[in-house]
Amino acid sequence: MRILSVVGRTYYGQPHAIEPMYLQLTLPLQGLGHQVDHFDHLETTQKIGPAECGEQFVRTVRAGGYDLVLYQTGGQDQMTRGAIPQAAKYAPIVAWNSDDDWQWESYSQHIAPLFTFVVTTYPHIYEAHRKQFPNLLLNQWGALDTYADFGRTKDLDFTFAGQVYRNRAPELRKLWLKAGLKVQGMGSLRIWCTPLNHRGFRDVAAKVFPSIKRAMAFAEVHEIWNRSKISYTPLGASVNPGLLQIKGRVFEMGLSGTLMLCQHSPALERYYECGKEYVSFGNLDECIEKARYYLSHEADRQKIAAAYYRRTKGEHLWEHRWKQLFRDVGIDRSTRTKVA
C-alpha cells in the first residue's frame, strides 16, 4: 500500500531528537512492505501557518494516490480543520490520538468527526464513546526493535530515563535516596532542588543527576533501558499524577531485557501478566522493597524480564498494531483501498 504519515519529525522541536511517532508511523510500515511518504504538519504550520498548511496537505493527498493517511493529533490544531475532511475525499484518514484520558472532553471529541477513523489507546474512552462516535477505534502503543538490545550487559541497576516533570521530582528523589535510582532526562535538576537544597546535598546529587536541558533522543533512552536491570516506570499523567495511563514506554522497553517496575494498574493487565511479565507496586515504599529484592535475586529478575520480552515480541510490536488497524478499517494490502 501507499501510505502518507502526517507526523512531526523532531521531538519537542529539538533537531537532535527524532519524534518517536515519526519512527512508529514509518519504520514498521516499511518493514511490512508498504511505501511510506511523510508530511510534517508541525513544521509546515510553523513555516507557513495553519491555513496554508491545510491547503498543502489537501494537495498532497489529492495528488499522492494514497491508500491510507495516518495523522498524528495533539492538544491543538496543526492546520485549518476544514482541510481534513476535504483531504479525506481522496483517501481515508486515520487520526492517532494521545492523552485521550484527560483531553478527550476538551479536544479529541471535537476533532473526531473530521476524520474517517479516530484511534484512542484508552479502553475506557472507547467503551464510553464508541456509540456516539462510530468511527472510533481502539488500538495501543507498541514496541520498535530498532534500538532494543536484549543481550546487552546490564551494568546499570535501577534507572529512570525520561522527562522529569515537577510532580515527578519528589518520588524520584526518594527512590534515589532509598534504592539508588539513577535518573537521566530533561528536568533532572528538579530532583535535587528544594526542599533538600543544602550545599552538601547539591554537591552529591549534581554528580548523579546531570542537568539535561534538552529532550533525550529515542536512541539514548533505549540505550539506558538496554543497560538497566530494573526500569522504574511511572504511569501518572503529566497533568495529574493520580491519573494512571498506559504509556508508550510500557511497550517500548519490552525488548530491552530490563525488568519493568511500575505502579499497579488494572488496565495494564490487559496486555501483560503482573508478577510474571512485570512487577507492580502500590506505593513508593513497596517500590523500594521490590527494587532491592530483584537487584539481589538476579535469576528471578531475568525470568520476568525474559517473559516480558517474549510477550512483547509476540503480541506488542508496532507491526501488530498496524495489522490490527488495517483489519479494523477494512483495508486489504493486496488491493486498492477498501473502507468498511
- Both 163 and 263 in one domain: the answer is yes
Cα angle for residues 241, 244, 248 (degrees, 5° grid)? 110
Residue 275: inside a domain = yes
At residue 203, does pLDDT exceed 60? no
- Both 80 and 22 in one domain: the answer is yes
- Both 16 and 135 in one domain: the answer is yes
- Both 205 and 297 in one domain: the answer is yes
Residue 340: inside a domain = no
pTM for the structure as a whole: 0.88
Residue 173: inside a domain = yes
- Both 122 and 214 in one domain: the answer is no
Residue 208: inside a domain = yes
- Both 36 and 116 in one domain: the answer is yes
- Both 253 and 226 in one domain: the answer is yes
Is 237 in contact with 243 (CB distance < 8 Å)? yes
Q: Which of 208, 253, 264 is nearest to 231 (CA)?
A: 253
Count CA atoms within 13 Å of residue 307 on its CB side. 15
- Both 322 and 196 in one domain: the answer is no
Beta strand 259-263 with 93-96 is unpaired
Residue 336: inside a domain = no
Cβ neighbors of 250 (< 8 A, separation 6 or more) are: 141, 233, 235, 260, 262, 268, 271, 272
- Both 62 and 133 in one domain: the answer is yes
- Both 129 and 180 in one domain: the answer is no
Residue 196: inside a domain = yes
The C-alpha atoms of residue 320 and residue 250 are separated, in whole angstroms, by 15
- Mean of per-residue pLDDT scores for the chain: 88
* pLDDT value at residue 241: 67
Residue 148: inside a domain = no
Residue 339: inside a domain = no
Q: What is the pLDDT of residues 21-31, one digit of tens each?
A: 999 999 999 99
- Both 324 and 307 in one domain: the answer is no
Q: What's the structural domain count of the chain?
A: 2
- Which has the higher per-residue pLDDT, 240 or 71? 71
Cβ neighbors of 164 (< 8 A, separation 6 or more) are: 172, 183, 185, 186, 187, 188, 189, 190, 191
* pLDDT value at residue 337: 45
Residue 167 confidence class, pLDDT cut points 50, 70, 90: confident
- Both 126 and 176 in one domain: the answer is no
CATH code, 213? 3.40.50.2000
Range of the domain at 113: 2-142+317-329
